Amino acid sequence: MQDILKLMWERHSARAPFDPQRPVATRDLRQILEAARWSPTAHNMQNFEIIVVDDAKLLETLGEIESHISKEFIQENYEQLSFSEAKLREKKVGILGTMFPPTWTDPAKVNEAVRETSFLNRTIRGSPLLLIVVYDPKKRAPASEGDVLGFMSLGCVMENMWLMAQSLGIDFMIMSVFSADSIENEVKRVLNMPENLKIAYACRLGYSVSAPAKYPRVRRNVEDFTHYNRFDDRA
């Protein structure tokens, strides 16, 4: 097993198209699911289920679901963008604007962006495997109003699977669009999901057909977010 910190450094979201002729091996999928199994969850509730979708026809059907990017997402995403590497490195937070389609990075084109209906198809196309993580919102850890601890647990499941996939050389991308109400309802119908369950996110797994684009990866320095004994002491 690779050094855990090295895995964290190398972990990235694979946005390139995946090779449909190169499936994820059953033994590798099992290891990724084992990583999910051992994720820390609040009160050890293990409040998640994972739907493995590797049937080509089902994947095609999911990709045909009409999907829109909301105006709210476009506007709030724009506020977090940097439009030069120098600015991104200076800010140490946010994303480089060139990682997104031009219609997502120009406020004047927001109406054009939200009219697109094929976002899901464009993202899923060619992917040999989806993992859809679902949960029951009626179940939560004791005294966890708003289920904050439950959402933290779902994040731990995500990170465990992502790091395991990284260690196996498998590309991985989170698709939060699956939790949008209109898309979730269609996915639930296609996959015969119980009505009480909600989709937290989906993970797209496979092998990219091309090397990932090189984008600067920025993080704040440890000294930028660490406080000693009192919040106003950064000694």
- Verify that 144 and 209 share a domain, yes or no: yes
pLDDT of residue 18 exceeding 70? yes
- Verify that 39 and 134 share a domain, yes or no: yes
- Verify that 31 and 144 share a domain, yes or no: yes
Give the model confidence (pLDDT) of 99-119 as tens digits.
888 888 888 888 888 887 777
pLDDT of residue 1 exceeding 60? no
| Integer Cα distance of 201 and 154 in angstroms | 9
- Verify that 86 and 14 share a domain, yes or no: no
| Integer Cα distance of 176 and 159 in angstroms | 14
- Verify that 176 and 87 share a domain, yes or no: no
Q: Is residue 235 a part of any domain in this protein?
A: no
Reduced to 3 states, what is the DSSP secondary structure of residue 106? coil
Q: What CATH number did the domain enclosing 151 receive?
A: 3.40.109.10
Q: Is residue 16 a part of any domain in this protein?
A: yes
Q: Assign 2 a pLDDT band (cuts: 50, 70, 90).
A: low
Q: What is the mean pLDDT of the chain?
A: 91
- Verify that 132 and 61 share a domain, yes or no: yes
- Verify that 109 and 129 share a domain, yes or no: no
186, two tokens? 């269609």
Q: Which domain holds residue 59?
A: 4-66+125-217
Give residue 212's pLDDT.
74
166, two tokens? 């990284």
- Verify that 47 and 75 share a domain, yes or no: no
pTM of this prediction exceeds 0.85:
yes
| Integer Cα distance of 40 and 48 in angstroms | 12
- Verify that 194 and 90 share a domain, yes or no: no
| Integer Cα distance of 151 and 131 in angstroms | 17
Give the model confidence (pLDDT) of 40-85 as tens digits.
999 999 999 999 999 999 999 999 998 878 888 888 888 899 999 9
Angle of helix 181-190 relative to helix 56-63, nearest 10 degrees, comes to 150
Q: Is residue 147 a part of any domain in this protein?
A: yes
% of the chain surpassing 70 pLDDT:
99
| Integer Cα distance of 154 and 183 in angstroms | 20
